[in-house]
Amino acid sequence: MIRPDARANDQLRPISFHPNVAPNATGSVLVGFGDTRVICSATIEEGVPGWMRHQRVPGGWLTAEYSMLPYSTHDRKSRDISRGKLDGRSSEIQRLIGRAMRAVVDLQKIGQRTLWIDCDVLQADGGTRTASITGACVATAIAFNRLLAEGKIKDFPLKKLVAAVSAGIYEDTPVLDLNYLEDKAATVDCNIVMTEALELVEVQGSGEEAVFTRAQMDSMLDLSTKGISEIFSLQKMAILNADKAEPVDFAALLGTFGKH
């Protein structure tokens, strides 16, 4: 079996992080998983939701929003606002992003503030939810570093890094990090979210008019563990170098993607 892009079965697509692409956000990054590109931003706002104030819940809150821009897919995708409601897929993904980030953020340490995570898909080629979680973690770490530098918080609220990757059964073979062609043809599709301690945060898996065995599930988990371990190294480098990054020429930056 040869994959459409000739990768090994356990090989990630090229992954890139370009920080500070949204100057008005507290932290931001443009993340690329192959030809999938997502802008992830973390914005800190003073204050918490009304239900927290009314119930006198201590600490802060974290929430996420996810959207695919109309030109992110081959056929134009209508904006949610034009339909008058958020589509089910977008709602499910942004809840997933929020759960993944709340698993690793100590909300007590951000004080009475709200952390907004926004993930906007510029180009979709499979794995937009996993790229969004992975990029959201980097953007959040950059934002917290900024708050620390400004003296607005005393302790770093991110307990661990979190990242995600897809795995699936493609042509009867377990493979890592599916692109669109593989995702469309896969008989099984899984999305795995882990912390840097390799603890599972969430496992989403389903057969596409097919079933799969425990052995196949174990193979996909093994592939995901290997891939996510590699992603953590890239995340750490991106976070460490964020303050050293040059101001972003966005047009030029977009042109760098796809040159693998």
The helix/strand/coil state of 77 is coil
Answer yes or no: is 225 a known binding residue.
Answer: no
CA distance 202 to 10: 20
Cβ-proximal residues to 222 (8 Å cutoff; 6+ apart), any chain: none
Answer yes or no: is 83 a known binding residue.
Answer: no
Answer yes or no: is 127 a known binding residue.
Answer: yes
99 burial level (CB within 10 Å; 0-12, 13-18, 19+): middle
Answer yes or no: is 187 a known binding residue.
Answer: no
CA distance 130 to 11: 15
CB 167 within 8 A of CB 176: yes
Dihedral of CA 15/17/21/27: which sign?
A: positive
Per-residue tokens: 259: 């040159």
CA distance 151 to 89: 38
Type of residue found at 217: M
CB 139 within 8 A of CB 40: yes
Which residues are annotated binding-site positions for phosphate?
89, 127-129
Which residues are annotated binding-site positions?
89, 127-129
